[in-house]
Every structure is written in C-alpha cells, then in structure tokens.
Amino acid sequence: MGKEDANRGRRSTEKKRIDRSKGNSANKINTSNKSKKSASKNPDLIRLNKYIGNSGICSRREADTYIATGSVTVNGKIVSEMGYKVKPTDEVRFDGRLLNPEKKEYILLNKPKNFSTTVSDERGRRTVMELISKASKAKLKPIGKLDRNTTGLLLFTNDGDMSKRLMYAKHGVKMLFHVELQRNLSLSDLRKIREGITLEDGVVKVEEIEYVSNTSKRQIGIEIYNTKNNIVKRIFEHLEYDIVKLDRVIFGGLTKKDLPRGHWRLLTAQEVINLSMIN
C-alpha cells in the first residue's frame, strides 16, 4: 500500500470517528431536550413563584424578587433560579416559614334543611359537602356548625388561620338569626333575653332582639356576637320555647343577598379582607 493510500485510510477512519462522535452528541442533546420537555409537562410540578403566590404570602411577581434575593428555600436549600419548579411534596419555606401551596378559597353557602354540617356522616345522611362539591378541588371545611334543620349562611375555607380567627374571635362574630317559635314570645321573656340569659356555661348576652315587623310574635330577629354551637336554640329552650324554624341571615357581615337556598358563591376580595379584620 502506498503512502497516499495510507493517508486516505487514516482520513476515512478519523471522519467515521468524528461522525460517530457527532451522532452521540446529537443523541445526548436530544435526550436532554426530551427530559426537559417531559419535566415541563409533568402535572405534579409547579413554578416556585406560583407556589409562593398560592400560599398567600405575596403576588407571583413579588415572589420572583424574594426568590432572587435568597429568601426562599426548597428542602432546606436556597433557590434563586427563576422558573424553578417544585413538587407539592417539597418543603418550601419563606424566611423560615413553611408554606402551604394550596390557594386559599372561601365559599359561602345558603344551607337548606336536612344537611349535616360535617365532612362525612357516620349514619349516611346527606352533608353540606355535597352542596359545594363542584365549587372547588381544595379541601374545604365549614367554619362552625349549623344543626341539620337550621338553614342559612355557612362559610367554607381551606384557610386555617381564618377559621381559627372566626371560631375564637375575642369579641365574637356578628350573626343575625330569624327565629320562628311554636308560640308567641312574651314581652317579659324578650326582655330577659335582652338583659342576658344565664346558661350552664355562663351568661349569654345578645346585641339585639326584636319581634319581626308585621308578623306574629312567634317571629323573632336576634343579633348576637357568639360562636358557641346551638347558642340561639339553647337560649329559647332555657325559657321553654321550641324552635320551628331557625335561619342565619347574616354571618360576619355576609348576607344572603342574591344567594338562593342550596346555592353557593365565592367571596369577593373585599369580603375576605373584611373577615380578616375580625379578631
């Protein structure tokens, strides 16, 4: 074999090696791209700024600033990369505070009769959760309880802080009930309630109590700042009255306006702000 033939052989071998190398590089790039595309389509992943925004700490735009300044950690490590994605199971902290990625939601229901105010009922009875099943995918819970036969406003949320604030408000939450009794409420008993009724767990005072205008004295309006369960029912039972109907028409400033029985609606941003000011 001549020198020129040998050189041609070496060049051919080198070219094949280079071609194989390029092919391998191309395959690595394609594999990497596929991996990125796969990750971007993973429904379990959520952008870090959205995760923070859903927690209620701040807006997504503000979250980007906090991420860039190193205020956010994921599983114990500072993350400052824009567009970083996390899993719902990751531990995300903002300035050391553990965040909940579930967006806070607030649903107001006008509860009808014959629904238990529980997440589930051991006796298989219908619950209020059935009525709001299409309202949200979040794990909502009712704030407080209404008897199965009590109708009216019931608030649901996944905001634990809000629930505690309303359940244990120092000065109570304003509630207005429309009560129908089995017999007329005497003027003397109305005055007793107005002055304060002593029950087994202490004195209960109402803000206002009046006969409903243009009706019989069986129809009573009672405004109260108290979060104890069945408090209105207990007041009248103490005076030996049976309640025929009990309807909560105002709760924490929320009303039944344009909300038919059995229907629900989302709270407005202003309504959420108003409730957050109750303490």
Closest by alpha carbon to 244, among 189, 179, 151?
179
Q: 247: which 2 tokens?
A: 């309807």
Rounded mean pLDDT of 108-122? 91
Residue 169 shares a structural domain with residue 236: yes
Q: Is the pLDDT of residue 18 over 50?
A: no
Q: How confident is the model at residue 178 (pLDDT cuts 50, 70, 90)?
A: very high
- How many Cα atoms within 13 Å fall on the side-chain side of residue 185? 30
pLDDT for the residue numbered 25: 40
Instruction: Read off the CATH number of the domain in which 226 is found.
Output: 3.30.2350.10
Q: In degrees rounded to 5, what are phi and psi of residue 181?
A: -100, 165
Rounded mean pLDDT of 107-127? 91
Q: How confident is the model at residue 139 (pLDDT cuts 50, 70, 90)?
A: confident
Residue 137 shares a structural domain with residue 84: no
Rounded mean pLDDT of 122-150? 91
pLDDT tens digits, 189-243: 999 999 999 998 889 999 999 999 999 999 999 999 977 778 999 999 999 999 9
Q: Is 120 exposed, middle or buried (0-12, 13-18, 19+ CB in 10 A)?
A: exposed
What is the model's pTM?
0.70
pLDDT for the residue numbered 43: 64
Residue 53 shares a structural domain with residue 36: no
Q: Is 133 exposed, middle or buried (0-12, 13-18, 19+ CB in 10 A)?
A: exposed
- Domains in the chain: how many in total? 3
Other residues' Cβ atoms within 10 Å of the Cβ of residue 271: 16
pLDDT for the residue numbered 229: 79
Residue 32 shares a structural domain with residue 58: no
Q: Is the pLDDT of residue 41 over 70?
A: no
Residue 80 shares a structural domain with residue 138: no
- Mark residue 214 as left, alpha or beta (left: phi above 0; alpha: psi -120 to 50; beta: remaining): left
Q: Which domain holds residue 243?
A: 106-276
To the nearest whole number, what is the mean pLDDT of the chain?
Answer: 85
Residue 29 shares a structural domain with residue 93: no
Are 151 and 245 contacting, i.e. CB atoms less than 8 angstroms apart?
yes
Q: Is the pLDDT of residue 34 over 80?
A: no
Instruction: Read off the CATH number of the domain in which 50 is found.
Output: 3.10.290.10
pLDDT tens digits, 243-255: 999 999 999 999 9
- Point out the least confidently predicted range of 61-65, 100-104, 223-227, 238-242: 100-104
Residue 85 shares a structural domain with residue 155: no
- Pairwise pLDDT comparison (245 vs 104), residue with the higher score: 245
Q: Is the pLDDT of residue 119 over 60?
A: yes
- Point out the least confidently predicted range of 33-47, 104-118, 226-240: 33-47
Residue 156 shares a structural domain with residue 271: yes
DSSP 90-117: S-EEETTEEP--SPP-EEEEEE-SS-BS
Q: In the block, which residue shows the tokens 């205020």?
A: 71
pLDDT for the residue numbered 114: 94
Across the strands, what pairs with 266?
107
Q: 141: which 2 tokens?
A: 């819970």
| Length of the chain in terms of residues written | 279
Rounded mean pLDDT of 59-76? 92
pLDDT for the residue numbered 24: 43
Are 102 and 54 contacting, i.e. CB atoms less than 8 angstroms apart?
yes
Q: Is 29 exposed, middle or buried (0-12, 13-18, 19+ CB in 10 A)?
A: exposed
Q: At which of 55, 72, 98 does a domain end? A: 98
CA distance 175 to 165: 15
